[in-house]
Amino acid sequence: DAGVTQSPTHLIKTRGQQVTLRCSPKSGHDTVSWYQQALGQGPQFIFQYYEEEERQRGNFPDRFSGHQFPNYSSELNVNALLLGDSALYLCASSPSGRAHYTQYFGPGTRLTVL
Amino acid sequence: AQKVTQAQTEISVVEKEDVTLDCVYETRDTTYYLFWYKQPPSGELVFLIRRNSFDEQNEISGRYSWNFQKSTSSFNFTITASQVVDSAVYFCAPRGTASKLTFGTGTRLQVTL
């Protein structure tokens, strides 16, 4: 049973560029959440997708956007990259977006903005 | 909204020692859930345990045990006979009726020989 997968593993971009990160949820899961983890900090919630719609959003600017596909996979897009966007981006999946369901995390994508 | 405090930034122990990681949470939700995750150097967050706010039973799983005290808003995690492989950052994360997990800064555990 495959777990949550993310691609790419690492990414280097320059300020002002745009980036797309991808996530495939665990088998049987239909809800995907994205988190940003800066160095030395805990993960911060970006947003959650369920039934191809953004269901909940954290305190992140509109430069951060996402998408969920019919097969439940998801993308995170960040426009106009800033140096402060350098972080580990974690994707988590869970069944049906209910609060009591456990979120399982992928290995993350490490983004470096130069 | 939820808030979590893990006052211990870093703990160092020698292998086979017992160690307790503290977690104090704040929430206005009457129903909530508490999670512990482990993040080894590889970076992936590994789920350890989930607790419901209406279930205050303590739990033991192998060398791991959890002590949930609703009266003091604490959900502490103990590793018995620690091993080098336990070295990681540990996060306690409450979750209310909304779907997001709220993480603190975590506790870095270093187990040495």
pLDDT tens figures, B66-101: 999 889 999 999 999 999 999 999 999 998 777 789
pLDDT of residue B28: 87
Residue A86, min C-alpha distance to chain B (Å): 15
Could you tell me if B11 and B21 are in contact, meaning their C-beta atoms sit under 8 angstroms apart?
yes
Nearest chain B CA: its distance from A33 CA (Å): 8
Mean pLDDT, rounded, of chain B: 91
* Predicted local distance difference test score (pLDDT) of residue A1: 67
Mean pLDDT across the stretch B17-32? 92
DSSP string, A76-92: EEE-S--GGG-EEEEEE
Contacts of B32 in chain A (CB under 8 A): 99
Mean pLDDT value of segment B6-26:
96
Q: Using CA atoms in the order A27, A100, A32, B85, what is the torsion angle rounded to 10 degrees?
A: -70
Which residues of chain A are under the pLDDT cut of 50? none
Q: How many CB atoms lie within 10 A of CB A63?
A: 13
Q: Residue B99 and residue A31: Cβ atoms within 8 Å?
A: yes
Q: What is the mean pLDDT of residues B4-10?
A: 95
pLDDT class of B31 with cuts at 50, 70, 90:
confident
**Between these two residues, B113 and B58, which has the higher pLDDT value?**
B113
Which residue of A lies nearest to B42 if distances are taken between CA atoms?
A: A107
**d(Cα A72, Cα A51) in Å, to the nearest integer?**
8
A102/B99 touch (CB, cutoff 8 Å), yes or no = no
pLDDT: which is higher, B28 or A2: B28
Bigger pLDDT: A23 vs B51: A23
- The answer to whether the Cβ–Cβ distance between B104 and A42 falls below 8 Å is yes
Using pLDDT thresholds of 50, 70 and 90, give the confidence band for residue B29.
confident
pLDDT score, position B51:
87
In chain B, % of residues over pLDDT 90: 65
| Facing residue for B33 by CB, picked from A33, A100, A108 | A100
pLDDT (0 to 100) of residue A98:
64
